[in-house]
């Protein structure tokens, strides 16, 4: 299996296409746009993909076929950000208004029509999940609130020393009662920025193509999840914020199954 852990490309201005749909993953693409110095405006077309744009610094202006929105910067990485949904077949222009800006662009196969939508952090659906040292806040920006073809997207805020995606869960096959095959990408931000966390991506040992990988994740890293369970933990003292993007053979958030070895913690 190819390496699923992509280190941060750094902060030099440029467009960094990290994940190619149909090559690295079947259903998802993922890119990072670093805007600074001479790179003030970036224009592109969404083509046959619908997109989710997530914003980490700025401010920036997003224009989509005559629609526009100004996105304020986050005060800290502990704050949930805004996302913009872009339909397929659209022309997009991103302009940094002052200072440096970082934008991630995730894509999945889209459908004709549709309109751009801004979902602010305050408008995202918030769920406080788990308990004890595996409690976290999950914000869903793009789901049933938007008439998308495949994309589901949001952010998770890990507390320092806390776990998320826990109990470990997966969504890689049709299985009772509700599991649906969907790939996923995690993009990490850490505060303070010298911090780190760990992520494990693994299958049951009985899987015909079993694997078990653990990755130290740092600020700006990306992890691909083609299949398997995928828990995350933050180093004590460091907040871990990750953008997550899902696409696959269904479009239902929560259509996963827990690792039966660890599901007992829900009722402990």
Tally the residues of the chain.
268
Chain segment 31-66, per-residue pLDDT in tens:
999 999 999 999 999 999 999 999 999 899 999 999
Sole residue written with tokens 């997207």: 153
Give the per-residue pLDDT at 106: 99
Q: Is the peptide bond before 177 cis (omega within 30 degrees of 0)?
A: yes
Topology at the third CATH level for domain 5-266 = Jelly Rolls (2.60.120)
pTM for the predicted model, two decimal places: 0.97
CB-based burial of residue 107 (10 Å sphere; 0-12 exposed, 13-18 middle, 19+ buried)?
A: buried
Q: Rounded to whole angstroms, how far apart are CA atoms 155 and 121?
A: 9
Q: 137-166: b or e for each residue (b if 16 or more CB lie within 10 Å)?
A: bbbbbbbeebebbbbbbbbbbbbeebbbbb
Q: Name every residue whose Cβ is closer than 8 Å to that of residue 79 and which is 6 or more positions away in sequence.
A: 121
Q: Rounded to whole angstroms, how far apart are CA atoms 80 and 133?
A: 20
Q: Which of 147, 153, 152, 151 is nearest to 114 (CA)?
A: 147
Strand 49-55: give its sheet, edge to edge.
Answer: 14-19, 29-35, 101-109, 49-55, 83-86, 117-119
The answer on pLDDT for 2 being more than 80 is no
Give the per-residue pLDDT at 177: 79
The answer on pLDDT for 170 being more than 90 is yes
Give the per-residue pLDDT at 1: 65
Give the per-residue pLDDT at 252: 87
Rounded to an integer, the average pLDDT of 101-119 is 96
CB 65 within 8 A of CB 100: no
Chain segment 183-216, per-residue pLDDT in tens:
999 999 999 999 999 999 999 999 999 999 999 9
* C-alpha 202: how far from chain center: 19
Strand pairing of 101-109 and 117-119?
A: unpaired
| Residue 265 banded pLDDT, cuts 50, 70, 90 | very high
Six token digits for residue 215: 């990755």
Chain segment 62-84, per-residue pLDDT in tens:
999 999 999 998 888 788 999 99
Rounded to an integer, the average pLDDT of 111-115 is 90
Q: Rounded to whole angstroms, how far apart are CA atoms 30 and 188?
A: 13
| Residue 24 banded pLDDT, cuts 50, 70, 90 | very high
Q: Rounded to whole angstroms, how far apart are CA atoms 34 and 86?
A: 19
Give the per-residue pLDDT at 16: 98
């Amino acid at each position: 299996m190819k390496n699923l852990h992509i280190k941060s490309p750094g902060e030099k201005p440029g467009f960094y296409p990290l994940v190619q749909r149909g090559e690295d993953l079947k259903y998802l693409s993922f890119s990072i746009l670093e805007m600074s110095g001479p790179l003030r405006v970036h224009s592109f077309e969404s083509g046959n993909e619908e997109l989710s744009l997530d914003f980490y610094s700025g401010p920036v202006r997003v224009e989509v076929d005559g629609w526009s929105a100004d996105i304020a910067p986050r005060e800290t990485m502990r704050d949930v950000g805004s996302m913009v949904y872009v339909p397929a077949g659209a022309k997009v222009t991103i302009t940094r208004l002052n200072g440096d800006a970082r934008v991630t662009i995730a894509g999945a196969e889209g459908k004709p029509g549709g309109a751009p939508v801004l979902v602010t952090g305050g408008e995202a659906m918030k769920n406080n999940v788990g308990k004890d040292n595996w409690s976290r806040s999950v914000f869903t920006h793009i789901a049933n609130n938007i008439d998308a073809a495949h994309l589901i997207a949001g952010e998770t805020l890990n507390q320092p020393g806390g776990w998320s995606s826990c109990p470990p869960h997966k969504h890689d096959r049709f299985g009772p009662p509700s599991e649906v095959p969907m790939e996923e990408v995690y993009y990490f931000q850490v505060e303070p920025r010298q911090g780190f966390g760990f992520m494990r991506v693994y299958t049951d040992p009985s899987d015909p193509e079993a694997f078990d990988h653990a990755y130290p994740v740092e600020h700006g890293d990306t992890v691909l999840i083609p299949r398997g369970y995928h828990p995350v933990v933050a180093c004590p003292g460091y907040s871990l914020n990750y953008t997550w993007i899902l696409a696959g053979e269904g479009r239902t958030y929560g259509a996963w199954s827990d690792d039966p070895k660890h599901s007992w913690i829900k009722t402990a």
